[in-house]
Amino acid sequence: MSRERMLREMGLAPLWKLRAASAVSSLAAPTAVAPAAAERNAAIAAMDWEQLRQSVSGCSACGLCQARKQAVFGVGDEKPGWLFVGEGPGAEEDERGEPFVGQAGRLLDAMLAAIGLQRGEKVYIANAVKCRPPDNRTPEPSETAACRPYLERQIELLKPKLIVALGRPAAQTLLAREVKIADVRGKLFDHRGTPLIVTYHPAYLLRNLTEKAKSWEDLCFARRTMSEKVD
Ligand code: URA
Ligand code: SF4
């Protein structure tokens, strides 16, 4: 299939108006985990789905709990094959309690469709932070760090065959270091035994055709990886 046709199929031809791409943030230097945090991490690491859901919905481990309407846990096939990890809920997600249901979500659906995937079928969608950052700002490293045990537990319970990190906060959370997308896209990483591929966040794809094309390459790479290495 030609690149142009693929971009059309990804629904990326028209210019969508989305929130501005997130400002650059840096990851805090690794610090020793305080005893209380270690205890919380251990508790989360032992939770089943129901406990995890309840813990997230009542969580106040970071400041993002203050302005949220509700925490957005994640959604999809619980034996997924594919796990896509975004940044954090936006206004519509905060309202509806489901990830990627706003404009960025329509783009994500188009990206999924372009590689023959559909929301909910062999696909799980989650975010680096479960609560909406005010004014859709980029989550702070301290916030992604506070939320990370939930994502890690989701990954352990889901046992995906491949993880796709969408954008910088997701990539930094999963790789546990500061990265530039341009440096880490198109490569295969290992997340505790699970293949991990990084690409641009769908909201970022509106910028220009070059990035859309790169994101298409990344998705092809992910699809190839899934069929060659995993199936
Ligand atoms: N952007 C994200 O990263 N996640 C969502 O759930 C919605 C928009
Ligand atoms: Fe808790 Fe995560 Fe929400 Fe912060 S973003 S309050 S860590 S669920």
Per-residue pLDDT of the chain (231 residues; tens, 9 = 90+): 555 665 565 655 443 333 333 333 445 445 567 889 999 999 999 999 999 999 999 999 999 999 999 999 999 999 999 999 999 999 999 999 999 999 899 999 999 999 999 999 999 999 999 999 999 999 999 999 999 999 999 999 999 999 999 999 999 999 999 999 999 999 999 999 999 999 999 988 766 678 888 999 999 999 999 998 655
Task: Decide if 27 is inside a domain.
Answer: no
18 within some domain? no
Distances (CA, A) of 32 to 35, 38, 39, 147: 9, 10, 13, 17
CATH number of the domain enclosing 206? 3.40.470.10
Task: Give 89 Cα–ligand 2 centroid separation in angstroms.
Answer: 11
Q: How far apart are CA 16 and CA 54, in angstroms?
A: 35
**Which residue's CA is minimally distant from atom 7 of ligand 2?**
147
The rounded Å distance from CA 7 to ligand 2 centre is: 35
Task: List C-alpha distances in Å: 47 to 27, 55, 72, 150.
Answer: 27, 9, 17, 9
Pocket probe mutation, ligand 2, options 147, 152, 154, max atoms within 8 Å of Cβ:
147
- Give the structural domain span for 113: 34-230
Does the residue 7 lie in any domain? no
Q: How many angstroms is it from 77 CA to the middle of ligand 2? A: 22
Sequence-separated (6 or more) residues with CB below 8 Å from residue 187: 197, 198
